[in-house]
C-alpha cells in the first residue's frame, strides 16, 4: 500500500498530545530612542587661580593675564554680567579693578559685609554665583581664627608659619598678628584682615633675617625684611599669605606687587627680598 506523508503543525500536534502550544515571540522591533539627552557637564572654575588673579591683575600696568586663570575668570565675569553687576566690556578674563568691584557687590548682595565682601572670591559666594553655570574646583579658605603668640591668625596662616619653622629649625615669634583693624596705623591697614603677620627679629643677624624671609617666601608668603629707614617702625619681617581669601584690600595689593617684582610698599620700588620661586601655600604643599 502506498504511504502518504502527513504534515502536522506544531500547534495541532501539541493539542493532540495534550500539552500547551508554544507562544511565538514577537519579532524584534526598533530600539526606542532615548527620551532625554544627557546634560553637558558644567565647566569648572579653578578657585586658586581665580583668587590669585584677583590679587595680581588690579596691580598690573598692562592687560597681561594671570597664567592659568583666563577660562576661570571668564566664567566668573560672565556670571557677574548675568547678575547685571559687570558691563560686557570687562568680561575679558582679566580680574581687574572693575571685576573686583563687581564681585564685592555680589558678596554684598548675599548679605556679606567686611572681609566677607572684600572682592576676593570665597568658597560659598563663588558656588552661589556659579549655580547652574559652573562648579568650583581647587577650593581654598583661611580656616578658623586661632591663637598664635598671643595674637590672632587664621588656621591656614598658622600652618604656613609652622612649616617655615620646620624649614628653619627654629621658632618664629610674632610682633603683630592678623584681624587687627586700626591696631597699628603704620601698617596701612594690611593687618586689618587675615593672612598677615609681623615677625620679631630681635637678636637676629642680617643673614638670619634674610634666611627667615626666604623660608617664609618658600611656603607661600609675600615676605620682606623691614627696617626703620623705610617707615615709622622697628626692624621686623612683614609677611602676607598669598591667596588668603581674608586679606584686606591693602594686603591684596601687597601680594599682587610681590608677584610683579615690587617691594610691597607705597613707593612701589623693586623687590629687595631674597629671590625664590613664587608660589602659594597650596602649590608648595603639592610639591613637597
Question: What's the pTM value of the predicted model, to 2 decimals?
Answer: 0.85
Residue with cell 569648572: 44
Is 18 part of a structural domain of the chain? Answer: no
Domain membership of residue 17 (yes or no) is no
In a shared domain, residues 126 and 216: no
Task: Confirm whether 184 is domain-assigned.
Answer: yes
Q: What is the pLDDT along the chain (288 residues), one digit of tens a residue?
A: 333 333 344 344 343 334 454 445 455 555 455 555 677 899 999 999 999 999 999 999 999 999 999 999 999 999 999 999 999 999 999 999 999 999 999 999 999 999 999 999 999 999 999 999 999 999 999 999 999 999 999 999 999 999 999 999 999 999 999 999 988 888 899 999 999 999 999 999 999 999 999 999 999 999 999 999 999 999 999 999 999 999 999 999 999 999 999 999 999 999 999 999 999 999 999 998
In a domain, 4, yes or no: no
Look-up of cell digits 515571540: 25
**End residue of a domain, out of 77, 103, 137:** 137
| Domain end point (choices 98, 117, 137) | 137
Give the range of the structural domain holding residue 124, as residue numbers without chain letter: 44-137
Residue 16 lies in a domain: no
Residue 175 lies in a domain: yes
Q: Residue 102: beta bridge partners? A: none
Same domain (yes/no): 195, 224: yes
User: Torsion-angle region of residue 132: left (phi > 0), alpha (psi -120 to 50) or beta?
Assistant: left
Number of structural domains found in the chain: 2
Does one domain contain both 107 and 154? no
Residue of 127, 125, 122 whose CA lies nearest to 141: 122
Residue with cell 613707593: 267
Is residue 242 in a domain? Answer: yes
The Cα–Cα gap between 87 and 100 comes to 13
Domain boundary among 79, 111, 137: 137
Amino acid at each position: 500500500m502506498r504511504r502518504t506523508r502527513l504534515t502536522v503543525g506544531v500547534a495541532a500536534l501539541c493539542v493532540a498530545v495534550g500539552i500547551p502550544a508554544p507562544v511565538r515571540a514577537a519579532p524584534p522591533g526598533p530600539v526606542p530612542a532615548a527620551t532625554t539627552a544627557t546634560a553637558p557637564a558644567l565647566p569648572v572654575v579653578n578657585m586658586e587661580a581665580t583668587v590669585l588673579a584677583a590679587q595680581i591683575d588690579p596691580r598690573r600696568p598692562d592687560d597681561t593675564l594671570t597664567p592659568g586663570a583666563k577660562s576661570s575668570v571668564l566664567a566668573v565675569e560672565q556670571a557677574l554680567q548675568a547678575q547685571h553687576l559687570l558691563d560686557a566690556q570687562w568680561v575679558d578674563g582679566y580680574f581687574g579693578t572693575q571685576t573686583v568691584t563687581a564681585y564685592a557687590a555680589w558678596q554684598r548682595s548675599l548679605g556679606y559685609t567686611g572681609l566677607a565682601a572684600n572682592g576676593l572670591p570665597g568658597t560659598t559666594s563663588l558656588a552661589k554665583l556659579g549655580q547652574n553655570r559652573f562648579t568650583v574646583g581647587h577650593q581654598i579658605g583661611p580656616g578658623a581664627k586661632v591663637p598664635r603668640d598671643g595674637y590672632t591668625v587664621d588656621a591656614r596662616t598658622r600652618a604656613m608659619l609652622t612649616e617655615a619653622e620646620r624649614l628653619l629649625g627654629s621658632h618664629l615669634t610674632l610682633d603683630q598678628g592678623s584681624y587687627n583693624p586700626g591696631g597699628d596705623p603704620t601698617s596701612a591697614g594690611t593687618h586689618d584682615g587675615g593672612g598677615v603677620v609681623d615677625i620679631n627679629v630681635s637678636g637676629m643677624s642680617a643673614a638670619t633675617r634674610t634666611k627667615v624671609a626666604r623660608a617664609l617666601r618658600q611656603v607661600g608668603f609675600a615676605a620682606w625684611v623691614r627696617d626703620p629707614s623705610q617707615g615709622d617702625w622697628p626692624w621686623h619681617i612683614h609677611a602676607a599669605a598669598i591667596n588668603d581669601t581674608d586679606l584686606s584690600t591693602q594686603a591684596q595689593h601687597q601680594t599682587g606687587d610681590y608677584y610683579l617684582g615690587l617691594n610691597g610698599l607705597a613707593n612701589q620700588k623693586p623687590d629687595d627680598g631674597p629671590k625664590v620661586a613664587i608660589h602659594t601655600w597650596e602649590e608648595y604643599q603639592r610639591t613637597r
